[in-house]
Structure 1
Amino acid sequence: MTDSTLEGGGASATTAIGENDGVVTTSASPGASAAQEGTGFWRSYGRRWARVPAESGVLFVAFPLAVIATSVLWPLFSTGIGLLVLVVGFFLVLASLYIARGYGTMTLAMLEGAGRPRIPRPVWRGRVGTGFIGRVLSPLADGHYWIYLLDAIVVQIAVTTLTWSIFITWVSTALGGTTFWIWGGFLPTTGRTVWLSSVIWEWVTRTPATFDPVTADTVLYAVVGLVFLFTLPYITRALITLHWSVARGLLGAWPSDRLRREVTELSASRAAAVAAEDRELRRLERDIHDGPQQQLIRLRMDIAAAQRRLADDPDATSRLLDEAGVRAQDALDELRALSRGFAPPILQDRGLAAAIDSLAARSTIPVTVTNDVSTDVALPQEVERNLYFVAAELLTNVAKHSRSDRARLTLALAGNALTLSVSDDGVGGAGENPRHGLSGIRERVTAMRGTTSITSGPTGTTVSVSVPIS
């Protein structure tokens, strides 16, 4: 057991370290604990005060904005309802829904500016049909628009009236009480018989007040002002939290929105997977037709010719069989090369990092590989396989089109996503053409619910893909 004692500032702490169990136990004297707690409280209190200006600004402007929104939206919406028999009423209702959406979005932005956590935005419904009518009718079929309208014309005016009244009362009491000693002397006191300090004293003690009421009122107002000023950060935070809670319940996304987004993403992923699979099958079909198939046709012709000359010209037959053997080996080599398009042996045996190093070594231009993924991280085989093909395609594009002298490949793991980036310093101009190159890469990555970023300019091209690994 090893003991060490730290002393300073009148406080002491003893740290005991167990040699066998490796557990560190620290005990501090009461004086040290009190000092640490005090320091922690004042630091936290200072951070609260740092947020007071932003919170006060939101609380101060929320009520006027709510009054303006209610004054505009109530007449607009009610007039639109009254004129629904006419075409103009329909558009007035739509206008009120769009204005309510804008006002609600501004409310969310102000709460974020006041330091509150970001509220997930709702998923706004797209068109409910085709053409102009489908686009126009979409707000009417989206419940979020109607909730935003209810919030703008009913809820916000009630909430902001309450919070604005409390906020103004608290601020005016804090500032007025702490500064009363400055301006209180200018107030007329001639003929005044009621003093707040005397009333409180006589009510509490049931005895007459014999002190100077002017001085007592000044002290009383200062104490009350200091109390209100000290608690102001807690009041602004509580009022902002009330606004944030109302906004989260009415203006935030619904659980069904997340489900709808996931369904949309899954549909896009499935479509991209189908497109990527079709593209790969067509590429494989073309490669087999242009390579091994032609070799096998020529091999069959050579064998047929050798059979015809077997009895008449043994030497020619031998040469034909030798050529047939060479063509058979060429066809076998091409088939092996094509089979790597399904699952490269090095990828299966040693993992993605080794497979990418092999790609870089076989590249016709120098490639600098940076791998920040630990070997202890187990990656899904499907992710490794697809990222290998993405890396192979990108390095091939660099070698063919970039006119670059070198390339850089980076593999990194950020959170729950694996990122692969390939960049060069070539001529740029990379773009997505349907069913070719980068378009096929995006389809492959989208099928894995990943994202693709392409940046291309005069100084080079950078393509980054990010794929979730779970």
Structure 2
Amino acid sequence: MTTDTAVLPTTPSTKPSGFRQRGRLAQLGADSAYNLLRFPIAIAAFVAVVTGLSVGAGLLVIWVGVAVLSVALLVMRGFAMLERAMIPAVLGYDVPQAVYRQPEGSRLRRMLTPLRDPQTWLDSLHGFVAFPFAILGFVVTVTWWSVTIGGLTYGAYDWALPDPGTDPDNTDLFELLGFQSTPTLRITAYALVGLLFAITLPFVVRGTALLQAQIARGLLTSRATAQAEIGRLAGSRDAAVAAEAEQLRRLERDIHDGPQQRLVRLQMDLARAQRQMERDPEAARTTLGDAAGLARETLEELRALSRGIAPPVLADRGLAAALAAISARSPVPVELDVEGLPTERLAPVTENTAYFVVSEALANAAKHSDATTVRVSVARYGGLLRVEVEDDGSGGAVLAPGHGLAGLSDRLRAVDGALTVDSPRGGPTRLIAEVPCA
């Protein structure tokens, strides 16, 4: 089986890329471990950043401070890398790795590289900001776990503790509150307190872990996220340019091979008819009749080309009517299902892209697949329009540079869409395109 994918989530999802769902106990363990490990790491990072920046700033007058500051920033980079490796366990998805400025130039310029890198200063700021939250997370985690375990298991060791009723120097919480302390009262009350803490334990630990992880994500991955978004937009722009260039080349080739040749012949026929008008009127009428037929054929071909670009029915009556029209003209019988389309009109770019996908898929099926039936399904799922085209042809279609489907993939990438091609040898061929509705 040949399956080619171009940046496709096969089902609509609002979760971040790479999202991993854990069970409640597994997530509680990950959050607790994160809160406990963050405390000693935060202490070390705080000491390193305060010491390094203070000593470096104090020694700047003799230039030794520059080297000290560079080393301190590199140390904080190490702590930041460790933090980036830890937070996916809490967030449930991978975070982008920061891109640091690479050393270049003379030895002095290479030594100054960390000082000129904004991300290293954000790493150092995280060492300051995260410290109090690490203390909070550690204290809350230890307290909630201790009270939960101690309260739920109090009945197992109450007998080993001194009895407040027989020892006047030993008082417990209930006697301080003015109640008569008994083993039954203590065990029941502490068990209820432990149960309460056990119920709230996952939410409290999760909240403190998420607080720390989100602070880390904001400071340690925000620039990387922005750079990744810039790269994605640049890729979409390049894909749009490539798709537009390919469409223009195809249009130019189709016009040159079709209407242009017919117009040249039409011009020659009219010139011949003009010459025949004096000496052979009957032949001139025949030539003019042929020219009129040729003009009709040229007009039909130009209309067909215009329908491939932006058919009027799409703008006037919507996507469902346009797909019905193109399906009726297909040389291969088409089973069209548009029941999943919303009643309201979609954005023009969404409708145009979906129409282009179906048009290209039907053209490819007619030219290359030897198919006898094509099934087209278009439906909206949340914020995505899903277009599925399947034929019973010979298969073997691939999504690779240089092949016909590459332009289709570029067209979808230009609107943040995606394409999957499943086409084993012998068929069938299945194309799935997903286009954002907004």
**TM (normalized to structure 2)?**
0.72
Cα gap change, 1:153/1:376 in structure 2, threshold over 3 Å: closer, same or farther?
Answer: closer
2:184 aligned residue: 219
How far apart, in 1, do the equivalents of 2:194 and 2:277 lie?
111
1:109 aligned residue: 89
Structure 1 contact 69–152 (Cα < 8 Å) conserved: no
Cα gap change, 1:420/1:129 in structure 2, threshold over 3 Å: closer, same or farther?
Answer: farther
Cα gap change, 1:245/1:355 in structure 2, threshold over 3 Å: closer, same or farther?
Answer: same
1:175 aligned residue: 152
**Per-residue deviation at 1:433?**
2.5
Secondary structure of the corresponding residue to residue 376 of structure 1 = coil
Structure 2 contact 378–385 (Cα < 8 Å) conserved: yes
Cα gap change, 1:341/1:453 in structure 2, threshold over 3 Å: closer, same or farther?
Answer: same
**Per-residue deviation at 1:166?**
0.7
2:29 aligned residue: 57
How far apart, in 1, do the equivalents of 2:302 and 2:114 lie?
57
**Per-residue deviation at 1:394?**
1.0
Secondary structure of the corresponding residue to residue 465 of structure 1 = strand
Is residue 161 from structure 1 mapped to residue 161 from structure 2 by the alignment?
no
Moved more, 76-85 or 324-333: 76-85
Consecutive unaligned residues of structure 1, counting only runs of 5 or more, are 1-50, 113-117
2:212 aligned residue: 246
1:301 aligned residue: 268
1:356 aligned residue: 323
Cα gap change, 1:70/1:258 in structure 2, threshold over 3 Å: closer, same or farther?
Answer: closer
How far apart, in 1, do the equivalents of 2:422 and 2:80 lie?
37
Cα gap change, 1:373/1:53 in structure 2, threshold over 3 Å: closer, same or farther?
Answer: closer
How far apart, in 2, do the equivalents of 1:99 and 1:394 lie?
51
Moved more, 139-148 or 246-255: 139-148
Structure 2 contact 36–141 (Cα < 8 Å) conserved: no
How far apart, in 1, do the equivalents of 2:338 and 2:121 lie?
45
Residues 272-287 of structure 1 mapped to structure 2, 5 A cutoff: 272-287=239-254
Cα gap change, 1:124/1:59 in structure 2, threshold over 3 Å: closer, same or farther?
Answer: closer
**Per-residue deviation at 1:359?**
2.4
Is residue 467 from structure 1 mapped to residue 435 from structure 2 by the alignment?
yes
Secondary structure of the corresponding residue to residue 142 of structure 1 = helix
1:21 aligned residue: none
One-letter code of the match for 1:177? Answer: Y
Cα gap change, 1:96/1:192 in structure 2, threshold over 3 Å: closer, same or farther?
Answer: same
The higher-RCO structure (CA 8 Å, 6+ apart) is 2
Cα gap change, 1:75/1:151 in structure 2, threshold over 3 Å: closer, same or farther?
Answer: closer
1:184 aligned residue: 160
Cα gap change, 1:395/1:137 in structure 2, threshold over 3 Å: closer, same or farther?
Answer: farther
The Cα offsets for residues 329-354 of structure 1, whole Å up to 9 and x where unpaired, read as 22222222222223324334432112
1:412 aligned residue: 379
Cα gap change, 1:440/1:128 in structure 2, threshold over 3 Å: closer, same or farther?
Answer: farther
How far apart, in 2, do the equivalents of 1:339 and 1:374 lie?
25
One-letter code of the match for 2:89? Answer: A
**Per-residue deviation at 1:396?**
1.5
**Per-residue deviation at 1:236?**
4.4
Residues 339-378 of structure 1 mapped to structure 2, 5 A cutoff: 339-374=306-341, 376-378=343-345
How far apart, in 1, do the equivalents of 2:129 and 2:429 lie?
47
One-letter code of the match for 2:156? Answer: T
How far apart, in 2, do the equivalents of 1:441 and 1:270 lie?
15
How far apart, in 1, do the equivalents of 2:339 and 2:71 lie?
56
Cα gap change, 1:99/1:398 in structure 2, threshold over 3 Å: closer, same or farther?
Answer: farther
**Per-residue deviation at 1:195?**
3.3
**Per-residue deviation at 1:161?**
3.1
How far apart, in 2, do the equivalents of 1:399 and 1:433 lie?
21
Structure 1 contact 347–355 (Cα < 8 Å) conserved: yes
2:399 aligned residue: 431
Secondary structure of the corresponding residue to residue 408 of structure 1 = strand
Consecutive unaligned residues of structure 2, counting only runs of 5 or more, are 1-22, 57-63, 105-109
Moved more, 329-338 or 289-298: 329-338
**TM (normalized to structure 1)?**
0.68
The alignment-based identity, stated in percent, is 28
How far apart, in 1, do the equivalents of 2:286 and 2:143 lie?
103
**Per-residue deviation at 1:170?**
0.7
2:171 aligned residue: 196
1:441 aligned residue: 408
One-letter code of the match for 2:144? Answer: F
One-letter code of the match for 1:316? Answer: A
Secondary structure of the corresponding residue to residue 194 of structure 1 = coil
1:325 aligned residue: 292
One-letter code of the match for 1:242? Answer: T
**Per-residue deviation at 1:415?**
1.5
Cα gap change, 1:460/1:71 in structure 2, threshold over 3 Å: closer, same or farther?
Answer: farther
How far apart, in 1, do the equivalents of 2:274 and 2:418 lie?
57
Pick one of 178, 194, 204 that aligns with 1:229. 194
Cα gap change, 1:335/1:443 in structure 2, threshold over 3 Å: closer, same or farther?
Answer: same
How far apart, in 2, do the equivalents of 1:292 and 1:188 lie?
104
Secondary structure of the corresponding residue to residue 457 of structure 1 = coil
**Per-residue deviation at 1:107?**
3.2
Cα gap change, 1:80/1:367 in structure 2, threshold over 3 Å: closer, same or farther?
Answer: farther
Whichever of the two has the greater Rg, that structure is 1
**Per-residue deviation at 1:412?**
0.7
How far apart, in 1, do the equivalents of 2:429 and 2:46 lie?
53
One-letter code of the match for 1:248? Answer: Q
How far apart, in 1, do the equivalents of 2:322 and 2:384 lie?
19
